[in-house]
Amino acid sequence: MSEPMEQRGLASQSRSTRSAVLRILDANLDRAREGLRIVEEWCRFGLESAELTEQCKAMRHELAQWHSDEMRSARNTPADPGTALTHSNEETRSSIQAVLQANLCRVQEALRSIEEYGKLLSPELSQACKQLRYQTYSLESRLQGRNRHQQLAAARLYLVTSPHEYLFEVVEEALKGGLSLVQYRDKNEDDGRRLANAQRLCDLCHHYGALFLVNDRVDVAIAVGADGVHLGQQDFPLEAARQILGPEYLIGCSTTNPTEMERALRGGADYIGVGPVYETPTKAGKAAAGLEYVAFAAEKSPVPWFAIGGIDAQNLPAVLEAGAQRVAVVRALMAAEQPKQVTQYLLSQLYAR
């Protein structure tokens, strides 16, 4: 016959083993609660979301109920060799997203540790932490979605790439200049190279804290961990893309007139492109929508929108005068000799409005 559960668990272990397990549980309960508190503060003061703040608070309080006096009494901080250990990645954070990601990972790792070691002490504790870990995954997805939408709303300049011998160098220079939104667009590249390019660009954008979108290809966006997709009127259906990606990802849609705008908004687009404002080889054969459509979008669009199509430093003032606050460019940066400086100039004009 097998031994009773209590004899196979912590009760059957030596005093030193029991003390070590209690210290592990104590440390990880502290770690999980601390990480949740950092996330909670952003939900409260950064996102101003009562719902997400309350969710974090409830999770912290549930963990506190499992933090027993016996665990606290087993604590021996002076003898803990882990207090002196650190890593260079812990010394700095590049963005709010990096802060949240680091602490969500911290919470998830701590909960997993409690889940395993908790089996020696209390199956109920282990099961509770398992459920909390699943809640943290859901919280992470929701926070990613909220942060993406916040970044989108704050973006003023949007680079849509075109094939270029020095694609990555041009994009990185623009990112150094303050660019915060990039779309990878290459209609003619084979799938293997497209995937490799998208992955490298995605990693580059996220290193600089910028959003990265993929033109048309929902599958590529998912594969490389992009922040969303941009769809044309004849591309993958917007509603289907939303079903696949869910609400956390960004979906943009090109529009050339009020009817297409209404269709995109009805389909749930997070932002729209408005244009082409001027004729452009990027949209060869397509008539310019003109500044009239820019003025219409300024008055009617309830979501962020970017004027696009032949916009550069010379005609930008006219586009802004028509009501634009955000613009998307292709050649203005992809063909620039100094992408960083051009980015800085364009942003200075956009933020001056």
Task: Give DSSP secondary structure letters for 83-135.
Answer: GG---GGGS--SSHHHHHHHHHHHHHHHHHHHHHHHTTT-HHHHHHHHHHHHH
Of 194, 283, 326, 340, the catalytic one is 283
1 has pLDDT over 50: no
pLDDT digit string, tens, across residues 85-115: 566 556 677 778 889 999 999 999 999 999 9
- Label residue 6 by pLDDT band (50, 70, 90): very low
What confidence score (pLDDT) does residue 10 get? 66
* Residue-averaged pLDDT of the chain: 92
> Does 185 qualify as catalytic in the annotation?
yes
Instruction: Provide the pLDDT for residue 227.
Output: 97
Strands 228-231 and 157-160 turn out to be unpaired
pLDDT above 60 for 301: yes
283 catalytic residue (yes or no) = yes
Contacts 24+ apart (CB under 8 A), 16-21: 19/74, 21/117, 21/120, 21/121
pLDDT, tens digit, 9 for 90 and up, residues 58-83: 999 999 999 999 999 999 887 777 76
Does the pLDDT value for residue 2 go beyond 50?
A: no
Strand stretches in the chain, DSSP E:
157-160, 181-184, 211-215, 228-231, 250-255, 271-274, 305-308, 327-329
pLDDT value of residue 89:
59
Q: How far apart are CA 340 and CA 169, in angstroms?
A: 10
- Kindly state the average pLDDT of the residues 39-58: 95
**119 is annotated as an active-site residue:** no
pLDDT at 5 over 70: no
pLDDT on residue 141: 87
23, 142, 185, 217: the active-site residue: 185
Could you tell me the pTM of the whole model? 0.77
pLDDT at 263: 96
Q: Which of 113, 146, 194, 254 is catalytic?
A: 254
The backbone torsions φ and ψ at residue 251, rounded to the nearest 5 degrees and listed phi first, read -130, 120
Handedness of CA 225, 231, 237, 242 (dihedral sign): positive
Q: Specify the 3-state DSSP secondary structure of 304.
A: coil
Higher per-residue confidence, 199 vs 82: 199
The arithmetic mean of pLDDT across residues 50-56, rounded, is 96
Cα dihedral 295, 297, 303, 309 sign: negative
Q: What is the mean pLDDT of residues 295-301?
A: 97
Strand, coil or helix: what is 8?
A: helix
Report the helix count and the strand count for the chain, using DSSP H and E: 15, 8
In angstroms, the CA 45 to CA 53 distance is 9
Q: For residues 117 and 19, is the Cβ–Cβ distance under 8 A?
A: no
Q: What is the pLDDT of residue 44?
A: 96
Confidence of residue 353 (pLDDT cuts 50, 70, 90): confident
Tokens of 175: 């990112």
